[in-house]
Structure 1
């Protein structure tokens, strides 16, 4: 999707992570028949992951020369974006489940809801590029999409912290990579990269503390 955004001026990528009551998670899991969204039939996942691991340490963007946000995407960035798009489950079943989950997200609890939007770019894709393949795969579910009960939230929390709690040089590098993705493939130079790292973890910690489940979903509008 992202590599096609240049001509789709109104497209917005969204990543939402929210706490969901344990009772509602049970109902949603029963309706879905699975505990996470996964679409692996559109590409060679194993092959693309191996390629990503081989290139993860290299930048996929040319640094700006004129203005601070003027990053240019290299061919590898388009390939990685296409891989993320291929992993997105766009079936009717998945879209119905996303709508059902969306209805259960809190509206007025800051700790229990995180939402990132970006013009012509996917916030989770930017985060995945910043983290690299191994840290991304430690996150629950499948490339930003998950539905966890309270026990699963508690079980996943330590590995999520390992992926998202970054300090010093590692955090500065991650923020730079997020900004590169958001400007080289998207059109969002003012994106809050710090919140993209901190927000999802805040929600999962809140869900663990309050005995709730949690869900994440990628949307395109």
Structure 2
């Protein structure tokens, strides 16, 4: 049985960010500090994965030379158990949800980057395509973050370094992006930087979340 996942980055004013912070930031921290997570990140940093087309051709297969590294990366880039609660609902005492109380509050389609994928995690593809050195420049943890407008402006130079490519670098990253895009859908290599720049220019904060929809 497959899954459908989403990675979103949405722009909001600072009042909204301040109200969301007590709900989201502890969940991001809990996923970051969960047992084994840091070790998986460090393993990926030390052992970046090769061309994704080799993963099913011996590299990542049972007993293959990259089995443990690939398994570790797949676990790292799966939706975090704690941030997932923001989509599923935080509990019987709190019916706040990512869908109704964050995404539905965005009136302009330009104020959100949203990649919904069947049988895949958009964040996983993004991280593999950009690699660990660039990924380390991004704030938050594994695509999950909440930033005020000031923090968006402060982090923009690092995000531009992470997601700015020469023609050759862009071609290499695109070669490792295996998602199929509709004509009206933003690439995971384009959407994050586009909305970061837009939020910085308009004085907005940003909310990033990677979740399983079903």
TM over 0.5: yes
Residue of structure 2 in register with 1:195 after alignment: 187
Q: Is the 8 A contact 1:13 1:122 kept in 2?
A: yes
1:34 aligns with 2:25: yes
Deviation at 1:108, TM superposition (A): 4.2
* SS of equivalent residue, structure 1 residue 58: coil
Residue of structure 2 in register with 1:143 after alignment: 142
Q: Is the 8 A contact 1:35 1:147 kept in 2?
A: no
Distance 1:34 1:117, change over 3 A: closer
CA distance in 2, matches of 1:124, 1:33: 18
* SS of equivalent residue, structure 1 residue 178: coil
Distance 1:21 1:90, change over 3 A: closer
Deviation at 1:151, TM superposition (A): 0.6
Distance 1:22 1:36, change over 3 A: farther
Residue of structure 1 in register with 2:111 after alignment: 112
1:122 aligns with 2:114: no
CA distance in 1, matches of 2:152, 2:73: 28
CA distance in 2, matches of 1:110, 1:93: 21
CA distance in 2, matches of 1:93, 1:119: 20
Distance 1:17 1:91, change over 3 A: closer
Deviation at 1:206, TM superposition (A): 1.4
CA distance in 2, matches of 1:172, 1:112: 27
C-alpha offsets along residues 112-147 of structure 1, whole Å, 9 cap, x if unaligned?
A: 111111111110111011111221121121111111
CA distance in 2, matches of 1:33, 1:55: 30
Deviation at 1:48, TM superposition (A): 2.2
Residue of structure 2 in register with 1:48 after alignment: 40
Q: Is the 8 A contact 2:83 2:209 kept in 1?
A: no
* SS of equivalent residue, structure 2 residue 190: helix
Deviation at 1:218, TM superposition (A): 0.8
Deviation at 1:87, TM superposition (A): 4.8
Superposition RMSD on alpha carbons, in Å?
A: 3.0
* SS of equivalent residue, structure 1 residue 139: coil
CA distance in 2, matches of 1:197, 1:93: 25
Q: Is the 8 A contact 2:5 2:117 kept in 1?
A: yes
Residue of structure 2 in register with 1:99 after alignment: 97
Residue of structure 2 in register with 1:131 after alignment: 130
Q: Is the 8 A contact 2:28 2:83 kept in 1?
A: no
Distance 1:155 1:55, change over 3 A: same
1:89 aligns with 2:82: yes
